[in-house]
Amino acid sequence: MSKAQLNRLRKRVKAGGEWRSSFVAMRHSRYGSLAYTAMPVRVVECPPDDRPGYGCVEERQDAIAAYTQALLWYITRDRAHARKAVQIMDAWSAVVRDHTEGNAGLQAAWAGSSWARAAEIMRHTYGGWPRNRVRRFAGMLRTVYLREVSVTAPDYNGNWDLAMTDAAMGISVFLDDRRGFDRAVRRFRARVPAYFYLKSDGPLPKRPPGGHIRTPDRIRDYWFGQRRFVNGLGQETCRNFTHVGYSLAATAHIAETAWHQGLDLYGEVGKRMQAALALHARYQLGADVPRWLCGGNLDLDMGPDTEVALNHFRNRRGVSMPQAQRVAQRLRNVGTDDLFVAWEALTHAKNR
């Protein structure tokens, strides 16, 4: 978010109306409680299978809590929320050293993106975060998170690359790391066209960058057996809409962060994003699923993942997206996915 967006958000909440109800939901969530207690661990262990993890849920929730408390501080100017946000971040920067097991990169991405958002607000708007603690937190982001999310995952499902790029860009902005930012931009430019299809790509989707998925058969298998490709189809559409939602959210987060840094990535991928929003919204709202699309069976469990993209296309660019807007409105009471999307109906709906 920009400072102007934060200021507009604060004014809207004070004025009441639709923004007030979203704010109250955030404030009364478990993440907004002043009694919230962080639970840091030294090594976060997140297996990719059914084995129990260690610290995974706690890390994601604590990062969202820090971001929630940062927003509450900015909106209310209650220093208790500022102290709580800093307390949570200091607790983790004092303890965590690594992520392990097969989901390490994705876990670090989910938590890292929320940590960066929280830290950026607190460093620039609250004078009570000691400089040595800010430096310690920056060191944590660089060595524990940026290192992990900078590892490429070319043959994984694309939501991994996009979530990791989201975290890498946010962390690079906090660290004033131009090289890290530029690496994230390059990764974004390579992955988004290989995730959201347009007919101009040709008869098959673009290959994921740097991987081993090269033949037509392997590309089709990578797209979960889909054989017919239409505008807006996602690499994981035939898997489920949940993971497409993650990818839409991460893509929008990256483009939005770049937008505030003076780089218009939306303009580069706008047609793909608009097509993806339109296609998935249509079926999320109950349109009949044709047999050629994923065998006629879709898992339609999309989360609250579209507000940032909608704000740009509808409110900045004036693009009419009625079906996508209806889906967003249905999901606005969700608030957060407890992974890396939080309160975006409050922070970004109609907030240019």
> Measuring CA to CA, which residue among 320, 319, 321, 309 is closest to residue 351?
309
The whole-number pLDDT of residue 19 equals 86
Residue 44, strand partner residues: 99
The whole-number pLDDT of residue 17 equals 82
Helix axes 104-125, 3-15, angle to 10 degrees: 80
Cβ neighbour number for residue 279 with a 10 Å cutoff: 23
Residues in CB range of 244: below 8 A, 6 or more apart: 159, 234, 236, 237, 276, 280, 302
Cβ neighbour number for residue 1 with a 10 Å cutoff: 21
SS3 11: helix
Cα 162 to Cα 171: distance, rounded to the nearest angstrom: 14
> Measuring CA to CA, which residue among 227, 201, 99, 109 is closest to residue 159?
109
The whole-number pLDDT of residue 189 equals 98
Cα 339 to Cα 62: distance, rounded to the nearest angstrom: 10
Cα 332 to Cα 238: distance, rounded to the nearest angstrom: 25
Q: Residue with structure tokens 């962060």?
A: 257
Would you state the structure tokens that stand for residue 325, as one six-digit string? 């807007």
The whole-number pLDDT of residue 18 equals 82
Q: What are the domain boundaries of the chain?
A: 181-351
pTM (whole model) above 0.75? yes
The whole-number pLDDT of residue 319 equals 97
pLDDT in tens, the chain (352 residues): 999 999 999 999 999 888 899 999 999 999 999 999 999 999 999 999 989 999 999 999 999 999 999 999 999 999 999 999 999 999 999 999 999 999 999 999 999 999 999 999 999 999 999 999 999 999 999 999 999 999 989 999 999 999 999 999 999 999 999 999 999 999 999 999 999 999 999 999 999 989 999 999 999 999 999 999 999 999 999 999 999 999 999 999 999 999 999 999 999 999 999 999 999 999 999 999 999 999 999 999 999 999 999 999 999 999 999 999 999 999 999 999 999 999 999 999 999 9
Would you state the structure tokens that stand for residue 119, as one six-digit string? 């830290």
Residue 156 is classified by DSSP as S
C-alpha distance from residue 187 to each of 111, 164, 246, 332 (Å): 19, 10, 17, 30
- Terminal C-alpha separation, the chain: 10
The whole-number pLDDT of residue 80 equals 98
Cα 187 to Cα 164: distance, rounded to the nearest angstrom: 10
Cα 198 to Cα 230: distance, rounded to the nearest angstrom: 7
Cα 219 to Cα 212: distance, rounded to the nearest angstrom: 10
Say if CB 251 and CB 237 are below 8 A apart. no
